[in-house]
Structure 1
Amino acid sequence: MLISDSSIERQGWGLRTTALLIVLAILSACSGRPDVGVLALNEEPAAGAKVNDILIVTTRKRDERPDTYFNGERASEVNYAEASISVPPSHKPGQIEWPERLPGNPKTDFVAREASYIADKAAFRKSVNARLATLPRGKRDIILFIHGYNTRFPEGLYRFVQIVNDSQFKGVPVLFTWASRGNLKDYVYDLNSAAIARGALEETLVELSKTKADNITVLAHSMGNWLLMETAVQARTENRRLIAQHVDDIVMAAPDIDIDLFKAQLKRLGPQPRPFTVIVSQDDKALRISRAIAGGKQRVGAYSDDLELAELGAVVVDVTELQSLDSTNHSKFAQLAQLRPELRKALGSSALGSSADHNRGANLGDDLGSFVGTTAQTAVTLPIKVITAPFTYASGGY
């Protein structure tokens, strides 16, 4: 029996991909992942617990199973919802304390306090404006979070709650959750789901830009950055201009984007009015797997040349030396949430990576000298480098 070279190539690729996915599965192994029924409500009081109210925009299909709301399949229309999630008083920054049994214990676990669907886009915008109206003028801020590959609905929601809680964000948090199945083997499905979600994300950014918000921050993680960049590239010119006028900060955490594609996207978008922030870690094992699957091309989130990224217009936060709370080193960005006030000071901005000060490189070095975050539990000192062209400032223990 003759076997063609192309057949051998396909078989080799398939075996290589399978092996890589097995390795990633081992790296990501855990006792179980949250899925059905996670939003079972718990009304038990807990002194010191903090409730975080999240608005939700999604291209996921509604799930009729109790306390589940959305699954990993694609909806034919955009859906909206809201949820209130309680963080326990014993919470450790960067962590998600998942309940072992539902509906959880509010003294020790993240638990759902309220959850419901929102009827439509008009009702969603009304809800955003109502929440903004309760905030002082000048502090009517929105943060939009876009999760990455292999993320189930409750995982994206609870990770965002952790970020909002740890950063002490006082504005309106909005989760954009696209139809990831949350399965390692569904990388291509997830990538296609992200592509399908581009129009919905553009529409969401336009809607948020038309609210009464003073400032909008966009935080994307992993494949969510691919979705963000492709949305920017394909957006209608008038929409791109509107969004640019209202989005003050763009933070790209561990971007799962081919470095050559990223350069092409930036070239297509042209010169940007303000820098963006890229959080990188050269020991990111998940991006190492992604690189292998994608033909060996480096991913932006694990790129080896921080200065080149800075020269492309980014403020680079290099967390390679930071000890990760997850085995893949892919979610280090979540550990930075507690340092938001210090990053504001260090970067001279309103949030991670804000470009309010176009000359922030001039004062970055001075501010990094006091780059120590403090929480109620402990003082935090982290090994982080911040690079901005044409200056490079490194902190060895700050």
Structure 2
Amino acid sequence: MSDTLRLLLALLGLGPQLEKLLGDKWPAYRDDLLELAGRAGEGNDPGELRRALDALVQRLLAEAPAAEIVRRAVQATQPAPVKEIVIRRGRPPPPVVSEIVRPSADEATGIVTIPVFYGTDRARGGDTPASYFRGERGTLAFGIAEVSVPTRGRDLGELTGPSWWRFELTADPARHVILRSVGPLGRDVFVTSLTDSLAAADARDVLVFVHGYNVTFEDAARRAGQLSVDLKFAGRTLLYSWASAADTKKYTVDESTIEWSRDHFEAFLQLALAEIGAREVHVIAHSMGNRAVINTLERVSSWQLPTGAAKLGQVIFAAPDIDRDRFVQLAAKFKDSAARFTLYASSRDVALLASKFIHGYPRAGEAGAALLVVDGVDTIDASLVDTSLVGLHHSYFGDKRSILNDMFNLIAQQLAPDQRFDLQASGNAPQKYWSYRA
């Protein structure tokens, strides 16, 4: 974890104390901290982020009541002295159970095009793929988004796009994950198209991705396509894109919208289970998107699905931004409704700590002292995975090789945690959970 992130997390943790010490001045500092947390979660330029944080710290140090605890936080987050590293020789570890193999369907161009079957309640926007849906609420609509994903020159899990510092002014299909087109379909045509496509797939399974807070339709579709390729998913990939405002300053707007969106997601999930001839439906929900999924799962037992409907297979809660205690209440109701539930948590997720900062209570995706272990859900502490990047990027679930490998073993191989080499058991029943090997 970087020193910048460590200090930002420390200041977020001091929120209640700073509020008491600063009084009427606190709201302005609170808003600045939350904006920095949002920028960190987006993976913004580390140098620019550090300069902005340093400026905020200098202002806090000038506030006499708060200066001492801020100074202690700065000192506590300084890098530790470098220790001598002793290399011990021994037997190499056994191989990973199932390493992900990159798609090789198009060796000539090194580009795979994924049809992402979407449902969205966003309002219509412009005519280009990037602007086709806006961040305002609309009505439930369906269609197919084409996403091209390069299979060469891109690290597994990387959601590549043009970078100004590389002087890349336009997207290059050979290097970047690109939303190439958005094709709207009426509901009946959508169901028929998806049914026919699934019948021709290597597996009659579907993967439903639900994005989190501060995400555009374009980036949600790109992430869905990237996950499909890197997980080497043999069925068809679906996206449910709720009307996130895609603005770090509109967290509370997104909170209201995800609650409004739940009935639309429920209708979309029922369609996937009952109308397209699927065998199993797997779900990956990220961040705030978990609220729609978890609140929908509460009602699954009351659904009247037709004979022969698909079953819920692997349901993955990635960094869930939902009240920890609320998750416990709902898990007791949905724990038997799918083949397996898996929760990925991290103590280094700045977006979740910012959410806790706002709400005053732990989030279900936190690790550390707040790590959630509940009956019927496999909890995986991902805090140790690639710690130089995990905390700076709230989407660590989708862009870290070991977590993608774990999801591959979970979805494609149907392996329990004790069968997945990268994981080791921690704690004792009933508080047993899993963590990545150091």
TM-score where L is the length of structure 1: 0.77
The structure-2 alpha-carbon separation of the partners of 1:135 and 1:317, relative to structure 1 and needing over 3 Å to count, comes to same
Q: How does 1:375-390 map to 2 (within 5 A)?
A: 385=424
> What does residue range 116-195 of structure 1 map to in structure 2 within 5 Å?
116-118=183-185, 120-136=186-202, 139-195=203-259
Q: Are 1:205 and 1:243, in contact at CA under 8 Å, matched by a contact in 2?
A: no
Contact 2:217-2:241 at 8 Å conserved across structures: yes
1:19 to 24, 32, 35: 32
Instruction: Give 1:396's aligned amino acid.
Output: R
8 Å Cα contact 1:306/1:316 also seen in 2:
no
Higher-Rg structure is: 2
- Please tell me whether residue 70 in structure 1 is matched to residue 136 in structure 2: no
Q: 1:26 to 1:200 in 2, by over 3 A?
A: closer
Distance 2:425 2:265 in 1: 29
Aligned equivalent of 2:283, options 218, 228, 252:
218
Counterparts of 1:95 and 1:243, CA distance in 2: 37
Q: Aligned AA for 2:227?
A: I
Structure 1 residues 62-71 or 101-110, which shifts more? 101-110
Deviation of 1:66 after TM superposition, in Å, equals 3.0
**Separation in 2, partners of 1:218, 1:94:** 18
Question: 1:186: how far off?
Answer: 0.6
1:265/1:327 Cα in 2 relative to 1: closer, same or farther (>3 Å)? closer
Q: 1:86 aligns with which of 148, 168, 192?
A: 148
- Give the letter aligned to residue 104 of structure 1: A
1:71–1:242 distance in 2 versus 1, CA, 3 Å: farther
CA contact (8 A) 1:253 1:280 kept: yes
Distance 1:282 1:261 in 2: 19
Q: 1:195 to 1:12 in 2, by over 3 A?
A: farther
- Cα distance in 2, alignment partners of residues 344 and 94 from structure 1: 12
Q: Which residue of 2 is the match for residue 380 of structure 1?
A: none
Count of residues paired in the alignment: 346
> RMSD of aligned C-alpha atoms?
3.2
Shift of 1:60: 0.5
**Cα distance in 2 between the residues matched to 1:16 and 1:385:** 41
Cα gap change, 1:385 to 1:171, in 2 (>3 Å): same
Q: State the 1:368 CA deviation.
A: 3.8
Aligned-pair identity in percent equals 25
Is the partner of 1:14 in helix, strand or coil?
Answer: helix
Q: Which residue of 2 aligns with 1:264?
A: 329
Shift of 1:243: 11
Shift of 1:329: 3.8
Alignment partner, residue 248 of structure 1: 313
**Cα contact 1:206–1:242 (8 A) shared by 2:** no
Q: Which amino acid aligns with 1:263?
A: V
How many Å separate the matches in 2 of 1:109 and 1:145? 20
The farther-off stretch of 123-132 and 265-274 is 265-274
Which blocks of at least 5 consecutive residues in structure 2 are unaligned? 1-20, 46-106
Residue 314 (structure 1) aligned to one of 377, 391, 394 = 377
Shift of 1:65: 4.1
Cα separation, 1, equivalents of 2:325 and 2:309: 24
Name the residue aligned to 1:97.
160
Higher relative contact order (CA 8 A, sep 6+): 2
Residue 206 in 1 paired to residue 270 in 2? yes
